[in-house]
Amino acid sequence: MVFKGWFKGATAGDPARQETDELTLEDLIVLERYGEAEARLKARLQAEPEDLHGHLKLAEVYTELGRSSDAVDQYIHVAEEYAKDGFYEKGVALLQKAMKVNPGEETLRTKMYSLERAKGLEHKREAAAEGLRLTRVPGGGTGTAVLQLERAWHQLATSPLVERLTTEHLRRLFGAVEMLRCEEGERVAERGSDRAELWIPMTGSLCAVLVRDDGRETDLRRFGPGAVVGEGVLFEGGRWPAGYRVAEAGLFLRLDRAGLEHALLGNSDPRGLIEALRCDGNDRDIAAAVARLEGRRA
């Protein structure tokens, strides 16, 4: 191509050098002078490493040079930066582009799964916050509750419960619960009580305890963020198999019968919500542990 030839091979002192220096980055790419484009982009990124557009341009240049691994590294970098700012869909789109450049790169599939999961969790967090805005929270307004959720979400998000719950279920659940701050040592349930409610730690933990005839307590099991206790009482009309006290202070969700009815009303999958909350069967396990300690059948 004659036009491209006019600008190739310019060196220091060459009359064509001035015209070369005046070329834009886009000009260099159009002229297929990828080596010069790479050098200019590297200098630009050394001065401004957070220039994501520059990283994407460098990925394009590496692709044209046949350096697919280097191109993928640039795409991954930008995708992860987008994800840090919550732009998961942009990150996923870039990883998909990287997979076309180098389909054999196995790490891309892992990173794609990670970003897809993070995107899903972000949608669930937004749904939980939306639910809280629809309910009244004891001791504070909805704004306070949403702020507390934002601070506590990273602990709750990794729990199997959140994994099981759909976006709609989370919105309805958080629109029906009470969010309470409980201090260490506080009792939330007594053995034999038929008080129909379940508890879910958001932060902190609950401990199931068995009170002996002599008044001494035996700790049976501790339940952290995302665990559900009391499901047998709320859903099956049973009694609390043990007492529960706060082992570590934090935020807790309490769902009573009225809240449950609210969460199920108009729900497109009410059975799914109930099954997600009762899936772990913690009441059943604690009842079996108590029976073993007392030498009887559960």
The predicted pLDDT at position 5 comes to 46
For helices 68-84 and 106-133, the axis angle rounded to 10 degrees is 10
The predicted pLDDT at position 167 comes to 95
CB burial of 201-226 (b: ≥16 within 10 Å; e: otherwise) equals: bbbbbbbbbbeeeeeeeeebeebbbb
pLDDT more than 70, % of the chain: 89
pLDDT score of 139 more than 70: no
pLDDT score of 16 more than 60: no
pLDDT score of 6 more than 50: no
Same fold across 33-121 and 172-293: no
Structure-model confidence comparison of residues 145 and 117, the more confident one: 117
Structure-model confidence comparison of residues 13 and 106, the more confident one: 106
Residue 106 makes CB contacts below 8 A (sequence gap 6+) with none
| Predicted confidence (pLDDT) per residue in 215-261, tens digit | 788 999 999 999 999 999 999 999 999 999 999 999 999 999 999 99
Least confident of 18-22, 169-173, 240-244, 279-283: 18-22
The three-class DSSP label of residue 256 is strand
The three-class DSSP label of residue 78 is helix
Question: What pTM value is reported for the model?
Answer: 0.75
* DSSP classification of residue 211: E
The predicted pLDDT at position 3 comes to 42
172-293: CATH topology: Jelly Rolls (2.60.120)
CATH architecture of 33-121: Alpha Horseshoe (1.25)
pLDDT score of 105 more than 70: yes
pLDDT more than 90, % of the chain: 76
The predicted pLDDT at position 4 comes to 47
Domain boundaries, the chain: 33-121, 172-293
